[in-house]
């Protein structure tokens, strides 16, 4: 079955550590996105990528980094520069230029907690 997989489901980070969240899709989608969700805040865009080896900052990119070396994969690194990383992180994918017809497919999310 085609889908989008995020791992791990739960992640604990010590202060000062970098951690990487995985996002893999087998839908042959061109575009991939990372959103952060805090209670009462909706989804806020961190980074997105329309094609391999290219990505753009979203509204809250500070303290995060991404790479897009393969079409299927779009990992997100939460660096020590991100001062308040505790949140629920959602990855999504879509056909490029297909928002009009398809919207997004979402992963099940990773809940990151700083300890």
Partner 1 sequence: EDKVVQSPLSLVVHEGDTVTLNCSYEVTNFRSLLWYKQEKKAPTFLFMLTSSGIEKKSGRLSSILDKKELFSILNITATQTGDSAIYLCAVGSSGNTPLVFGKGTRLSVIA
Rounded to a whole number of angstroms, the minimum distance from the CB of residue 35 to partner 1 is 8
Does position 108 interact with partner 1 (CB under 8 A)? The reply is yes
Give the nearer residue to partner 1 in terms of CB position, either 12 or 98: 98
Give the nearer residue to partner 1 in terms of CB position, either 9 or 14: 9
Residues 6+ apart with CB under 8 A from 112: 11, 12, 13, 19, 21, 78, 85, 86, 87, 88, 89
Q: If binding means CB under 8 A, how many residues of this protein chain bind partner 1?
A: 24
d(CA 112, CA 99): 28
**HSE of 29, CA atoms in CB hemisphere, 13 A:** 29
DSSP 17-30: --EEEEEEE-S--S
Residues 6+ apart with CB under 8 A from 99: none
In the shown chain, the binding pattern of residues 40 to 79 toward partner 1, with x for contact by CB under 8 A and - for none, equals xxxxxx--x-x-------x---------------------
Candidate list 35, 55, 64, 74; residue touching partner 1; CB under 8 A = 35
Q: Which residues bind partner 1 (CB under 8 A)?
A: 31, 33, 35, 40-45, 48, 50, 58, 90, 96-97, 99-101, 103-104, 106-109
């Amino acid at each position: 079955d085609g889908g989008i997989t995020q791992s791990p489901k739960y992640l604990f980070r010590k202060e000062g550590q970098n951690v990487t969240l995985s996002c893999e899709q087998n839908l042959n989608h061109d575009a991939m996105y990372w959103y952060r969700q805090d209670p009462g805040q909706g989804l806020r865009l961190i980074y997105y990528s329309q094609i391999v080896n290219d990505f753009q900052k979203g509204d809250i990119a500070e303290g995060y980094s991404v790479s897009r070396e393969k079409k299927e994969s779009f990992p997100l690194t939460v660096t020590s520069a991100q001062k308040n990383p505790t949140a629920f992180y959602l990855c999504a994918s879509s056909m490029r230029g297909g928002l009009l017809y398809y919207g997004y497919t979402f992963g099940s999310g990773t809940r990151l907690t700083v300890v």
